[in-house]
């Protein structure tokens, strides 16, 4: 029982990690970023590159990936998303195009492949990232097997969640962000630089994706197309929890992770995912405003 | 004359806030009724309640003898209530003529409309009349999104006319108009009088005088007074309620 | 000069398209004709997207669901018509893969080879497969559309819901190994047969079957958007609430177009199976569904012909480019870049661009004519 619960919790934490960034960019800015999964993928590749080329410690990859994907996110907002505010569906399509471009850039090793060059760690192949030994050794607490890496992911996710919550609700940046997300026009009339706020918010949401990417690299094979499923899952989590509700995202991530964990233990992985989609469809149709949101659509 | 619309003890409760609170009113056939009241008096909410946009939490709306309380919007519209919104709402990506064609609701079902061409070859007198009335004959092939503010308002009036409803609800039809445009608008509304029953929400008292017979004053979701322009302007309770905003003439 | 109007130019473009499509077999070998017929099928998908997205404002990111359903329904019939299905040791056809996973000693008969196999029995009749290929997508669209549009779900939520449903069904298909060969899909199919004529995919007749249906769909769609229903739908896209207060039942209109779009996608799925001889869960991949939207967007989402041509052109270019090995990956990159460019700079797509040029040309022409008359 506790095992399955723990597996579910660990799935939840990954969902939450990916969804947290989307909760920021979609939930508060209203931008659907289909390239979010690719930002996760970039985070994973940063880990691969840092380890193969610089021998950087796994844990140190987290801040590096955070900064790199944050910068990529900033650029995306600056050059693409900014031109499409108010055109929600177009943003969705444009960022999907970006997702393809980013994936191909990694596959083609940023063009080096044309010149016949090869950069270690890039290209269309699969990469594996070794995690430090202290993450690999399981130990017992009572008769419960603790997997340190999974536990670390959960702890880190909770940490990032609290950081995000604090940032949005207890800093002046967060206050400006909330003002912009409620009413862009009026906020900018009040002297808030809405462009700056949006750019930094987007960068922060992207940086969270980068952190998620590092953690994923630790237990999944890294490949250019690894990010795509995550963006869909992440969106479904945010929408089901209620757009604009940070705790809603937390709640629905836990629910969906547990559902997937339990069904997988009873039936199989494929059906578990199918049932998760089913749950989401039903929830969205019955409560389009989300499970935990009090605000309307 | 029989009452076409009867509102009895209508009430809506937005989580403790009663925007409309036990409001009753009867409008007779062919009547033009003006609804006035300060901001937040509940005028627009009342319109929302009548047309089914907001669901009431108490009371009853009867239209032509039918209880239409809380029915779906399109069903209420089909019974014969047309509405012009406060913010002009036309279809910006369609031409003026197409706007009127959409509003021409001879047939509403999908199957019937499959047999109707979008660009009828024959000239339709109804549409020509609506174009004329809203002075848009020249603009008939232009996109509605390119019209001026005043023209947009008239187009929407034209659309309500095409719909040919028994009761017309007009929410601030002169908002944001120049004096000249306002005059033209009151002309249009006067020409609708008699054929249709009309409820107008207005702030502009000059305009109200130019079109009005009976005024109902709303205050904090309740009916404060009802009577002719003169009665209302001299009603002490009305003056009282408006005292803060400098009397009714400036409301 | 009366002939040179915008509508007539559009009609001329439609006519030209149809003529070119009909004459292609004079210039191409069967190998290319087979390819082109697949792209015509994609063109139909472009039309379906343009109808639901461009005209009704319903962005369906799960169109692959309808395409896939159409494909599987016909593929099931064709699978039973395949020679291998008849060579499984029974008088009646039985799909080969069912035997790979069946319990030892299970009867070789569709009734009870495994739990769900009886569902295959009616598919022995080809017409049943064809009928289901149209009925199932429409039915799913009806139920889904009704649930969504009654609850006034719109915009991004529709996109997410359709996407989630498509992925859900894809997973169910993959999981249904014994019933429909799961991940591997249905291959080794028989030929589609009408009145003794076997539609071998590398036959000119097959090309014409697909080409004619595509043209009919194009003409039908054009007719549909030019009825009042089409205008009401555009009005709904513009301002849904206003339409409601005119007395229209908005949900019914949306469901109607959603169903039509689904039926076209189902039809396209069936034709694709005829041309490509397989059905697979990849039809329900997210990437494929979004590609359809890309085609329509590049061609012009507000133009049926544009969306159709967008699909065909992008695929022709892709096929040409893909003959050079190193360009395959680069092509994906180029597609991404083209798409990004279109969304950012020309939201009306190629068709909008051409339309604008034509309008400008017409204005200029009419101006000149007027001047000459005055002189």
Cα→Cα distances A198→A167, A173, A190, C104, C184, Å: 14, 11, 16, 63, 45
Tens-digit pLDDT profile for residues A124-161: 777 777 777 777 777 777 777 777 888 888 888 899 89
Residue C71: per-residue pLDDT:
95
Give yes or no for C148 touching A (CB within 8 A): yes
Sequence-distant (6+) residues with CB within 8 A of A151 are: none
Residue C64: per-residue pLDDT:
93
CA dihedral over C345, C347, C350, C353, signed as positive or negative: negative
Segment 200-229 of chain C within 8 Å of chain A by CB: none
Identify from C224, C234, C242 which residue to disrupt to test chain B contact, counting B C-beta atoms within 10 A and taking the largest count: C242
Give yes or no for C345 touching A (CB within 8 A): no
Report CA Rg, chain B.
19
Sequence-distant (6+) residues with CB within 8 A of C218 are: C14, C17, C18, C47, C304, C305, C308
The minimal CB distance from C246 to the residues B92, B102, B109 is found for B102
Shortest alpha-carbon distance between residue B85 and chain C (Å): 9
Residue B194 backbone zone (phi > 0: left; psi -120 to 50: alpha; other: beta) = left
Residue C212: per-residue pLDDT:
95
Sequence-distant (6+) residues with CB within 8 A of A269 are: none
Tens-digit pLDDT profile for residues A173-225: 888 888 877 777 787 778 788 788 888 989 999 999 999 888 888 888 888 88
Q: Which DSSP symbol is given to A84? A: G
- Three-state DSSP class for residue B65: coil
Neighbouring chains of C at 3+ CB pairs under 8 Å are A, B
Sequence-distant (6+) residues with CB within 8 A of B122 are: none
What's the rounded Cα separation, in Å, for the pair C195 and A247?
Answer: 63
CA dihedral C143→C146→C149→C155, nearest 10 degrees, is 20
Domain hosting B72: range is 3-91+166-250
* Pairwise pLDDT comparison (A109 vs A73), residue with the higher score: A73
Shortest alpha-carbon distance between residue C65 and chain B (Å): 25
| Paired strand residues for C216 | none
* Residues of chain C contacting A80 with CB distance shorter than 8 Å: 340, 344
Identify from A239, A277, A293 which residue to disrupt to test chain C contact, counting C C-beta atoms within 10 A and taking the largest count: A277
Size of interface A-C (CB pairs under 8 A): 115
Q: Which DSSP symbol is given to A37? A: H
What's the rounded Cα separation, in Å, for the pair A19 and B23?
Answer: 47
Residue B126 lies in a domain: no
Longest dimension (CA), chain A: 61
List the domain boundaries for chain C. Answer: 6-374
Q: Which DSSP symbol is given to B92? A: T
* Residues of chain A contacting C294 with CB distance shorter than 8 Å: 93, 96-97
Tens-digit pLDDT profile for residues C246-268: 989 999 999 999 999 999 999 99
Residue B14 lies in a domain: yes
Give yes or no for C16 touching A (CB within 8 A): no
* Residues of chain C contacting A114 with CB distance shorter than 8 Å: 326, 330
Give yes or no for C297 touching A (CB within 8 A): yes
* Pairwise pLDDT comparison (B31 vs C68), residue with the higher score: C68
The token pair at C302 is 């507000």
- State the pTM of this model: 0.89
Identify from B63, B84, B102, B161 which residue to disrupt to test chain C contact, counting C C-beta atoms within 10 A and taking the largest count: B102
Strands B214-219 and B3-14: unpaired
What's the rounded Cα separation, in Å, for the pair A203 and A193?
Answer: 16
Segment 20-79 of chain C within 8 Å of chain A by CB: 59
Segment 115-134 of chain A within 8 Å of chain C by CB: 124
* Residues of chain C contacting A232 with CB distance shorter than 8 Å: 163-164, 167, 286
Give yes or no for C327 touching A (CB within 8 A): no
CB half-sphere exposure, A47, CA atoms < 13 A = 30
Cα→Cα distances A257→A161, A212, A239, Å: 16, 16, 15
Give yes or no for A98 touching C (CB within 8 A): yes
For residues B8 and B24, the answer to whether their CB atoms sit within 8 Å is yes
Residue B69 lies in a domain: yes
Longest dimension (CA), chain B: 59
Say how far residue C69 (Cα) sits from the centre of its chain. Answer: 11
* Residues of chain A contacting C347 with CB distance shorter than 8 Å: 87, 90
For residues C137 and C66, the answer to whether their CB atoms sit within 8 Å is yes
The token pair at C272 is 């694709």
| Paired strand residues for A139 | A146
- Our count of domains for chain B comes to 1
Only one residue has tokens 């210039």, namely C27
CATH of the domain at B12: 3.40.50.300
Residue B148 lies in a domain: no
Residue B221 lies in a domain: yes
Burial letters for A267-291: b for 16+ Cβ neighbours within 10 Å, e otherwise? eeebbbbbbbbbbbbebbbeebbbb
Closest CA to A234 of C163, C124, C364: C163
The token pair at A290 is 């989300």
**Which whole number is the average pLDDT over A39-59?**
85
What's the rounded Cα separation, in Å, for the pair A276 and A263?
Answer: 9
Closest CA to A237 of A34, A24, A16: A16
| Per-residue model confidence as pLDDT tens for chain B (251 residues) | 478 888 988 888 887 788 888 888 988 888 888 888 887 788 888 989 999 888 888 888 999 888 988 889 899 988 889 888 888 788 988 888 888 888 887 777 787 787 777 776 666 788 888 888 888 888 888 888 888 888 888 888 888 888 888 899 988 888 778 888 888 888 888 877 778 889 988 877 777 887 777 888 888 888 888 888 888 888 888 777 765 554 455 44
| Paired strand residues for A144 | A141
Closest CA to A74 of A225, A196, A182: A196
Residue A294: per-residue pLDDT:
59
Range scoring the smallest mean pLDDT among A111-115, A264-268, B198-202 = A111-115
Give yes or no for C249 touching B (CB within 8 A): yes
ipTM: 0.86
Q: Which DSSP symbol is given to A130? A: P
CA dihedral A46→A52→A56→A57, nearest 10 degrees, is 90
pLDDT of A21 over the 70 cut: yes
What's the rounded Cα separation, in Å, for the pair A53 and B75?
Answer: 69
The minimal CB distance from C238 to the residues B77, B91, B118 is found for B91
Cβ contact, residue pair C237, B93, below 8 Å: yes
Do B and A make contact via 3 or more CB pairs under 8 A? The reply is: no
The token pair at B238 is 């009305």
Sequence-distant (6+) residues with CB within 8 A of C120 are: C76, C80, C95, C110
Residue B231: per-residue pLDDT:
84
The minimal CB distance from C246 to the residues B92, B105, B119 is found for B105
Closest CA to C302 of C310, C290, C313: C310
What's the rounded Cα separation, in Å, for the pair C263 and C259?
Answer: 6
* Residues of chain C contacting A284 with CB distance shorter than 8 Å: 153, 157, 160-161, 164
What's the rounded Cα separation, in Å, for the pair A278 and A270?
Answer: 12
The residue of chain C nearest to residue B107, with distances taken between CA atoms, is C248
**Which whole number is the average pLDDT over A29-46?**
89
Residue B224 lies in a domain: yes
Please state the three-class secondary structure of chain C as a single string: CCCCCHHHHHHHHHHHHHHHHHHHHHCCCHHHHHHHHHHHHHHHHHHHHHHHHHHCCCCCCCHHHHHHHHHHHHHHHHHHHCHHHHCCCCCCCCCHHHHHHCCCCCCCCCCCCCCCHHHHHHHHCHHHHHHHHHHHHHHHHHHHHHHHHHCCCCCHHHHHHHHHHHHHHHHHHHHCHHHHCHHHCECCCCCEEECCEEECCCCHHHHHHHHHHHHHHHHHHHHHHCEHHHHHHHHHHHCHHHHHHCCCCHHHHHHHHHHHHHHHHHHHHHHHHHHHCCECHHHHCHHHHHHHHHHHHHHCCCCHHHHHHHHHHHHHHHHHHCCCCCHHHHHHHHHHHHHHHHHHHCCCHHHHHHHHHHHHHHHHHHHHHHHHHHC
Closest CA to A205 of A55, A2, A43, A90: A43
Residue B173 lies in a domain: yes
């Amino acid at each position: 029982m506790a095992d399955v619960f723990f597996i579910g919790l660990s799935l939840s934490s990954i969902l939450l990690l990916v969804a947290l960034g989307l909760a920021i960019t979609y939930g508060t800015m209203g931008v659907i970023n289909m390239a979010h999964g690719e930002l996760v993928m970039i985070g994973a590749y940063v880990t691969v590159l840092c380890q193969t080329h610089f021998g950087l410690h796994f844990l140190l990859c987290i801040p590096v990936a955070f900064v790199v994907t944050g910068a990529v996110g900033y650029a995306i907002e600056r050059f693409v998303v900014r031109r499409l505010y108010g055109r929600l569906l177009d943003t969705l399509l444009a960022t999907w195009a970006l997702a393809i471009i980013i994936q191909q850039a990694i596959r083609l090793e940023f063009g080096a492949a044309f010149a016949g060059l090869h950069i270690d760690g890039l290209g269309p192949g699969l990469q594996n990232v070794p995690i430090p030994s202290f993450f690999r050794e399981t130990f017992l607490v009572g008769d419960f097997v603790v997997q340190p890496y999974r536990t670390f992911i959960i702890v880190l996710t909770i940490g990032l969640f609290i950081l995000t919550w604090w940032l949005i609700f207890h800093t002046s940046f967060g206050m400006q962000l909330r003002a912009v997300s409620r009413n862009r026009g009026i906020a900018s009339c009040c002297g808030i630089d809405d462009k700056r706020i949006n750019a930094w918010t987007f960068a922060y949401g992207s940086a969270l994706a980068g952190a998620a990417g590092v953690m994923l690299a630790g237990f999944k094979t890294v490949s250019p197309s690894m990010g795509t499923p995550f963006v869909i899952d992440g969106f479904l989590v945010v929408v089901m929890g209620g757009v604009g509700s940070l705790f809603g995202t937390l709640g629905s991530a836990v629910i969906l992770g547990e559902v997937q964990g339990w069904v997988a233990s009873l039936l199989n992985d494929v059906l578990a995912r199918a049932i998760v989609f089913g749950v989401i469809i039903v929830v969205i149709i019955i409560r389009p405003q989300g499970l935990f949101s009090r605000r309307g659509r | 004359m029989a009452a076409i619309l009867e509102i009895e003890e209508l009430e809506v409760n937005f989580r403790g806030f009663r925007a409309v609170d036990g409001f009753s009113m009867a409008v007779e056939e062919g009547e033009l009724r003006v609804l006035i009241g300060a901001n937040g008096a509940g005028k627009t909410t009342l319109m929302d309640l009548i047309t089914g946009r907001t669901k009431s939490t108490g009371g009853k709306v009867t239209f032509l003898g039918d209880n239409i309380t809380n029915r779906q919007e399109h069903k209420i519209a089909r019974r014969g209530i047309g509405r012009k919104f406060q913010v002009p709402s036309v279809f910006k990506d369609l031409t003026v003529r197409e706007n009127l064609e959409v509003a021409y609701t001879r047939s509403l079902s999908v199957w019937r409309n499959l047999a109707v061409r979008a660009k009828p070859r024959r000239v339709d007198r109804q549409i020509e009349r609506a174009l004329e009335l809203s002075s848009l004959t020249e603009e008939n092939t232009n996109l509605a999104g390119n019209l001026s503010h005043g023209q947009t308002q008239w187009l929407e009036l034209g659309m309500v006319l095409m719909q040919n409803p028994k009761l017309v609800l007009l929410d601030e039809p002169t908002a944001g108009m120049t004096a000249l445009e306002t005059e033209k608008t009151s002309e249009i509304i006067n020409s609708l009088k008699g054929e249709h029953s009309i409820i107008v929400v207005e702030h502009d008292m000059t305009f109200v005088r130019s079109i009005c017979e009976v005024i109902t004053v709303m205050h904090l979701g309740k009916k404060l007074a009802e009577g002719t322009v003169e009665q209302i302007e001299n009603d002490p309770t009305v003056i009282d309620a408006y005292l803060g905003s400098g009397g009714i003439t400036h409301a | 000069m009366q002939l040179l109007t915008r509508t007539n130019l559009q009609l001329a473009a439609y006519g030209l398209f149809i003529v070119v499509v009909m004459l292609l077999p004079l210039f191409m070998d069967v190998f290319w004709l087979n390819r082109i017929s697949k792209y015509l099928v994609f063109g139909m998908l472009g039309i379906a997207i343009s109808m639901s997205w461009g005209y009704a404002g319903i962005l369906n990111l799960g169109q692959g669901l309808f395409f896939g359903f159409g494909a599987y329904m016909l593929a099931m019939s064709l699978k039973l018509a395949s020679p291998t299905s008849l060579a499984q040791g029974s008088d009646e056809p039985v799909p080969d893969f069912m035997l790979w996973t069946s319990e030892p000693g299970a009867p070789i008969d569709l009734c009870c080879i495994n739990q769900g196999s009886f569902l295959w029995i009616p598919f022995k009749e080809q017409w049943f497969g064809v009928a289901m290929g149209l009925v199932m997508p429409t039915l799913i669209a009806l139920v889904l559309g009704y649930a969504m549009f009654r609850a006034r779900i719109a915009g991004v939520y529709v996109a997410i819901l359709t996407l989630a449903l498509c992925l859900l069904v894809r997973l169910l298909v993959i999981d249904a190994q014994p019933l429909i060969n799961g991940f591997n899909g249905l291959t080794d199919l028989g030929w589609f047969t009408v009145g003794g004529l076997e539609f071998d995919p590398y036959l000119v007749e097959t090309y014409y079957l697909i080409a004619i249906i595509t043209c009919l769909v194009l003409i039908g769609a054009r007719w549909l958007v030019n009825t009042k229903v089409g205008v009401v739908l555009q009005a709904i896209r513009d301002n849904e609430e206003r339409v409601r207060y005119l007395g229209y039942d908005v949900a019914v209109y949306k469901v109607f177009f959603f169903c039509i779009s689904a039926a076209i996608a189902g039809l396209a799925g069936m034709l694709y199976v005829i041309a490509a001889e397989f059905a697979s869960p990849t039809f329900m991949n997210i990437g494929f569904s979004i590609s359809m939207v890309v085609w329509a967007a590049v061609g012009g989402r507000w133009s049926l012909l544009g969306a159709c041509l967008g699909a065909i052109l992008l695929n022709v270019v892709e096929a040409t480019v893909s003959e050079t090995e190193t360009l395959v990956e680069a092509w994906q990159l180029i597609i991404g870049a083209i798409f990004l460019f279109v969304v950012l700079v020309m939201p009306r797509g190629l068709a909008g661009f051409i339309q604008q040029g034509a309008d400008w040309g017409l204005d200029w022409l009419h101006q000149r004519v007027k001047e000459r008359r005055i002189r």
